[in-house]
Amino acid sequence: MQVKSITDSAFRKYGRVLKLEVPDLLARLAKTPLPQDVSYVASVPELEACAEFETIRDSVYGGMPIQIGYCNGNNHKLNAVEFHRDSEINIALEGAVLILGLEQDIEDDFTYDTSKMEAFEIPAGAVVEVYGTTLHYAPCNAVEKGFQVVVVLPKGTNTDAPHCSGKLPDDRLLTARNKWLIAHEESGLGADGAFVGLKGENLEV
């Protein structure tokens, strides 16, 4: 699929680029493992000890408690979409590609057509805010060796899911704390209990 720049006007509905420099955080990210598959760690003490932690917490999240982790590895397919009730900050060490869509386009039965999604490349070192209404999932490779991406979220996100009453129909999408997910049937995530509702192609970069 076509990969656009985050400077393209098409990106504006999904997020924005923050004018922040985070050299210490990037230096710490460079020391995290780069596996052949995809590894996500929600909270990493070494990353949270970075010199920029307070700036991100206070200026980006308004003083709310945050966690800094990473998503590293190699990936070329969409496989699923997720969303949170808040923004997510992504910072790529050497570049990464995000496949993005809009929560507003999810159908009443919680299906979603992947043909509505667009792909954007995050250049090395750019600090990107992905809005809470933006559908996203694991990054895809922008360079052959893989990706190393900082992931900043409110503290507790992507940890154990709460016990829901089921009174809201979208409770079926909640796979972790503050994580609502819709999987593609090709992903195999349905075997783990994820809701399978992505229609169309399992997009590939």
pLDDT per position as a tens digit, 162-204? 998 888 999 999 999 999 999 999 999 999 999 999 999 999 9
Structural class in CATH, domain 3-199? mainly beta
Closest C-alpha to 144, from 46, 76, 68 = 76
Note the pLDDT tens digit of each residue in 68-102: 999 999 999 999 999 999 999 999 999 999 999 99
CA atoms within a 13 Å half-sphere pointing along the CA-CB vector of 12: 3
Domain chopping of the chain, boundaries: 3-199
Q: Where are the beta strands (DSSP E) in 20-116?
A: 38-41, 66-73, 80-83, 88-92, 96-102, 112-113
Sign of the torsion formed by the C-alpha atoms of 181, 183, 188 and 190: positive
pLDDT confidence of residue 165: 84
CB 138 within 8 A of CB 97: no
CB 148 within 8 A of CB 92: yes
Note the pLDDT tens digit of each residue in 169-180: 999 999 999 999
| pTM of the predicted protein model | 0.96
Main-chain dihedrals φ then ψ at residue 170, nearest 5 degrees:
-80, 0
CB 5 within 8 A of CB 122: no
Token pair of 45 as six digits: 């003490």
Token pair of 65 as six digits: 């408690």
